[in-house]
Structure 1
């Protein structure tokens, strides 16, 4: 029986189909220009860019120019890249231009699609940002598509880690700028720590296209971007506390695998208190006394490190370091660190060197960063499952763009076994069978441990010719992935999300030529070999297609349907044949945690024998429901985090806008005078209560505070004895004395120096207080949840108390600025009144719930040249022993120009 909704879809098409159909008329309009533009010379075609810009200046909008501009890009791509945009790619470009997300399957040419909307919006001259997931893709795409942009008369540049401020400023000034989400957010935070407009590198947030938008705006958005400075070394404390955890038993703590949380039981707390007391680390009688807040934080992290984090799944130990494994891609992430002291707890657990912690100086979530853009768009192969979140958080619609050719992939129902062992036996047989048939097979696993377990089983079964692609071997990943479509190839991969390389049936000709011919000089011999490799690839592709195309075999379901869909999408590229299938067991994490506990006994009663599988569409539907539950829970967590960050974001905007106003103002006399008068008003109000008699005034205290804050010794007690004197008179006399002293000081310094001192004192005071305020908000955030026990809404409590803290910070700003300006004396004139430089600091991308940090101690705010050693001194290129800790992604201090991880920091 067909539902009414199903019948309507059959007759009228889905909402997405109807939306896509609306673009037909514009596609015809673009096609109408093709013959005309094909007849133009290169110079005439390039001249269209100036023509479009003139039309925009005359009042036309980018939407008015869409058809001719897209036609120019199509013709330009044919000449500069040897590629022509398909009609479906034109649809993708229109979706991006409308400020929505274009969902396009793997291999449909998203990189080329972006050029349409990028060119059109870059004509306004306000800068277009193309956001990628890593430096490699940013550089590759900018170089590749840059040929087209430059051919059409646009400027293009890339921002990667290690660039100086001058290089960044030049890159942002281009029409098109390619960069990672981290670099963009980091530059925004750094800009708001500068002391002059001229030092800032970004020029606004006009239009951005986010590649792999689900990865950046969903997965990465769990983690705020943070700039931090070092705290005191507490490595000994981590090591001491770590020794206590193995002394606890399972009855001393509760583990919640669903929420990934662990907590001490009452018995566990008592046992821990005895251990801490014996070691001299407990202050007072209880672990939860206010004096023990830091100790509670340390013991909780130590317990998490031991009970929630597994070696070779969540991290590996390598070169005296804890290296995190990305749960989405399975890659190693050298340089990333867990925050909030969790990484130090893991270092203590594994017995490696414990690195020092950092204190937050500035932070922003990616949600709040990307919502600053006037127009935002994105593209990915998998966004529909997260459409609700994109709409709710970012106001972005998801539109599925049809494929250029019909998808031929066969998606089979899942096979469910009772145990891991049975499942892996079946998988090994299936892989051997596919390899014998000559069908290329990509096997997806969810962890390093499982990929290596499967590899070992295949060796025992006699299959030796296969590739393992996981975090341990990520250096060769691009080549391994590119050749995974060769007939009979077996590739075992730990999560395939966001790897940036297509799997082509028969293999990738360009990569084979680069690998096999290397630096062979151009000439007849090289040309002959290239022709031979191309012919070989063509033959192998036909063999792979005859064997059924790429077979994607997944060994487990991920918590997110999107990650499963990304793996499936590797097969069936551009109309190629393909096949996908998931092998599951009741012992898999998703089945065990979210599936029915009675399923095992039910299957046994139904007579399911060993090595038999159950295959039914109902199983797929039940699993999809479990995945939807997990996705909804993760969405709620992100949404809740964002609600709290929105409170800080409002305050951050006020502070950052205030800083820009102060930098732009030609002089600050009025601002500084207002601060001084507000400080005097508050000072007088504290010591002369409203409607109080003169004998109730605290004149001696007011005199002392005037000395402290205003550097003025005033006869306030004598004034108070004058007959008929009022509170306003006292206030006015103090104001006059302070204004006079400030004016004399300004005259003594000279006008330019006075303005320089005022601006820098105000900005530095704002920065200092804002950092203190961030620490206070962190502390408030960590304890406000307990208000729920008193039937009070933690979020409302956080909002009201955060506002009070902000008001208090502004009052402190007025007082501290006044105090410093009234006391400052000129020892020697500043050299040409240059503004202070922003100090070197570490950048982090850390998750407040899991603490994952992808930038770690190595992502330094390098403004120019080589980063300093740990002691702040410049590093000697000839002396590696004196370099101290160098971040994996920093430029190598030897001066080679390579990243440290590819030079002196390369793994042996």
Structure 2
């Protein structure tokens, strides 16, 4: 118990799993001697026999014998935990063995990944294992057709990117024919990179939109704010999460627009959006421009966030800032957060390299416990203390010198930067020193596998924005087929891969994931982080705790400096946790309302509940239509009418609640609790929604011709729909933004008076 406490493990005791695996080792010769591999019976799932059979299945089909620790991880997953397994410890195989165990119990399993590439790779890689056990497997990607998706969902085990699964769930919510449904009832979710999906991206809403509107007229505001100067016309708060006009800025905007600004709330919103896009969102840090479009960058993985966008107004403002044509916008028909998507599953488990740091959130939001799986071989990586500098220039110069020194010795170096712009600046500095780094960032992530395969070669220099969720190990010596064992041994003698971080991340987990690229499976390796007092982490989250004075060489050696860096990171993690909690508090009631409404919708879709409701509401009209058109036609029309108005009213309810939430924090000025006020608005609004569905359905049924196409009689659905993700809270919580905006407005009014 003391050892586990000192190791800061999760709360799951592994003793019983380890005993089961030890017993499986004794059964291994017997199972190996069987000519045919018979899958274990359902009652044996999780037993020693199960472990022995699954180990032999992996040997026969994949040529891989699972380590004891991989089987321990498998058992932890089968018992509904999150397994923390270090980089290179074989999470993919452990997950497949667990998925097979659930499937052999008759449970439908969705293995949820962070991207299409990993979903396809893992499904195809593990397919022989599943087939040997009599199971079927499929995968879903962004380019999958409806037929391919239906086939994949019919398999025992389905691999899918979390976004694609969510979009299919949303599309199913608008189906009007049961035969068109794709996604089966949720049973088991096995989540890869669980901390990223369940925590980092939990509050990201997935959106289904339709009935496109023309893009907003943002170019005028973008032109206006380009003329404004920071410190004179506008100010940015200390944490860089909000921007607001000064009194002089307000006067300038009012003269340019010819209005009294705060008498026009809509114009205030447009100006603020343009100002936020201009002052707070930075090209090649928060987004890139490629092929004439704005692409957001996933802050935790350094990749382009596929299909992701900001809320429409801010998206349009950024596009106007970059002088691009506005992208399509439209009415939100339905949405679901990733957390809401995953809590639909009766059973959730997952695996990742860094779960302990978010153990509190996993327990709070999903009732999940963390099982820390020890490595197969002890980690011998040398993690050096941070090297802290007074200025960013001193830090970058030191990074370049360190890379040059390690390269001169022949040691492969992986440099992890915080954003695209930094990776490109560092690339230029290294090339100026005569070095030839390879850059992996959001602009060339299609070349990711090839770049990572070469990152462990002798003398290689790789500069990357984030390594979380890359899904590929760095082999010492480079790709096996290229360099072989001699090259691997040569790099081992040099000390293995050396990881350099150019700054601490907002989350210690991202630091650990970067470190974890070195020292896999007992390999030698090293890591060090370079930090400066001008880094965004310190200026945003520890502005009142300056670093101690630096020595003449620019290095801060006072032990207080390390405490300050750790303090800033802890504050950042606390802020992000509070945003997660706050978002879930507001979405939880809507999720319950959505679930109740979906139950009602399913009764209508799969039965005659819609027709019976209309028969009760309009008995004479129902009898008349049944006599003239027949029972089947009336039931079919009744189903379509009620479904149309249910979906229409839900979209309106979402729009109304979005408006309520946007302004709810203003009520705090009257000493009211914003969350209580939101719930007080949401409950009667939902009751009104139910009444409105009945009223509109009755009104339509009284006048519609059930023998004709209903779409031409006012029941036309969107001709096209599209899906995307919204990055909420790009500048912090609504509380911070609204109060800063209100304070600035009041301050500006007082100055003018």
Fold conserved between structures, TM > 0.5: yes
Q: Deviation at 1:499?
A: 1.3
The answer as to 2:325 corresponding to 1:358 is no
TM-score after normalising by structure 2? 0.92
1:212–1:378 contact (8 Å) kept in structure 2: yes
Question: CA 1:126 to 1:799, structure 2 compared with 1: closer, same or farther past 3 Å?
Answer: same
- Secondary structure at the residue paired with 1:551? strand
Q: Deviation at 1:330?
A: 2.4
Alignment root-mean-square deviation, CA: 2.4
Task: Map Cα deviations across residues 617-648 of structure 1 (whole Å, 9 max, x no partner).
Answer: 65334322221111111110111011111111
Q: Deviation at 1:352?
A: 1.8
Q: Which has the higher contact order (CA 8 A, sep 6+)?
A: 2
1:413–1:617 contact (8 Å) kept in structure 2: no
1:505–1:541 contact (8 Å) kept in structure 2: yes
- Secondary structure at the residue paired with 1:158? strand
Aligned length: 728
Q: Residue 603 of structure 1 aligns with which residue?
A: 549
Residue 699 of structure 2, aligned match among 801, 807, 819: 819
The answer as to 2:437 corresponding to 1:466 is yes
Summarize the alignment of residues 245-324 of structure 1 with structure 2, pairs less than 5 Å apart: 245-249=225-229, 250-258=231-239, 260-277=241-258, 282=259, 286-289=260-263, 292-324=264-296
Q: Deviation at 1:813?
A: 1.0
Residue 573 of structure 2, aligned match among 631, 636, 651: 631
Residue 78 of structure 1, aligned match among 41, 50, 59: 59
1:552–1:568 contact (8 Å) kept in structure 2: yes
2:611–2:639 contact (8 Å) kept in structure 1: no
Q: Residue 35 of structure 2 aligns with which residue?
A: 41
Q: How many Å separate the matches in 1 of 2:377 and 2:4?
A: 21
Q: How many Å separate the matches in 2 of 1:829 and 1:808?
A: 29
Q: Deviation at 1:301?
A: 1.0
Q: How many Å separate the matches in 2 of 1:623 and 1:598?
A: 9
Q: Residue 563 of structure 1 aligns with which residue?
A: 510
- Secondary structure at the residue paired with 1:468? strand
- Secondary structure at the residue paired with 1:360? strand
- Secondary structure at the residue paired with 1:574? helix
Question: CA 1:754 to 1:598, structure 2 compared with 1: closer, same or farther past 3 Å?
Answer: closer
Residue 316 of structure 2, aligned match among 341, 344, 347: 344
Q: Between Structure 1 and Structure 2, whose CA radius of gyration is higher? A: 1
Summarize the alignment of residues 440-519 of structure 1 with structure 2, pairs less than 5 Å apart: 440-463=412-435, 465-510=436-481, 512=482
Question: CA 1:612 to 1:669, structure 2 compared with 1: closer, same or farther past 3 Å?
Answer: closer
Summarize the alignment of residues 658-807 of structure 1 with structure 2, pairs less than 5 Å apart: 658-666=600-608, 668-674=610-616, 676=617, 738-807=618-687
Q: Residue 194 of structure 2 aligns with which residue?
A: 213
1:413–1:615 contact (8 Å) kept in structure 2: no
1:66–1:120 contact (8 Å) kept in structure 2: no
Task: Map Cα deviations across residues 196-229 of structure 1 (whole Å, 9 max, x no partner).
Answer: 2222111111111110111111222231111012
Q: Residue 375 of structure 2 aligns with which residue?
A: 403
The answer as to 2:185 corresponding to 1:204 is yes
Residue 645 of structure 1, aligned match among 587, 590, 594: 587
Q: Deviation at 1:140?
A: 0.6
Q: How many Å separate the matches in 2 of 1:274 and 1:408?
A: 66
Question: CA 1:231 to 1:253, structure 2 compared with 1: closer, same or farther past 3 Å?
Answer: farther
Q: Residue 242 of structure 1 aligns with which residue?
A: 222
Summarize the alignment of residues 166-245 of structure 1 with structure 2, pairs less than 5 Å apart: 166-235=147-216, 237-245=217-225
Q: Deviation at 1:169?
A: 2.2
> What are the ranges of 5 or more consecutive residues in structure 1 without an aligned counterpart?
513-535, 677-737, 853-908
1:414–1:619 contact (8 Å) kept in structure 2: no
Q: How many Å separate the matches in 1 of 2:423 and 2:335?
A: 37
Q: How many Å separate the matches in 1 of 2:674 and 2:119?
A: 41
Q: How many Å separate the matches in 2 of 1:11 and 1:263?
A: 47
Task: Map Cα deviations across residues 834-857 of structure 1 (whole Å, 9 max, x no partner).
Answer: x999853110110232299xxxxx
TM-score after normalising by structure 1? 0.77
Q: How many Å separate the matches in 2 of 1:222 and 1:245?
A: 31
Q: Residue 495 of structure 2 aligns with which residue?
A: 548
Q: How many Å separate the matches in 2 of 1:368 and 1:826?
A: 37
1:102–1:378 contact (8 Å) kept in structure 2: yes
Task: Map Cα deviations across residues 663-682 of structure 1 (whole Å, 9 max, x no partner).
Answer: 222464432234x2xxxxxx
Summarize the alignment of residues 512-531 of structure 1 with structure 2, pairs less than 5 Å apart: 512=482
1:194–1:838 contact (8 Å) kept in structure 2: no
Q: How many Å separate the matches in 1 of 2:340 and 2:518?
A: 35
Question: CA 1:804 to 1:430, structure 2 compared with 1: closer, same or farther past 3 Å?
Answer: same
Residue 87 of structure 2, aligned match among 98, 101, 106: 106
Residue 377 of structure 1, aligned match among 349, 364, 371: 349
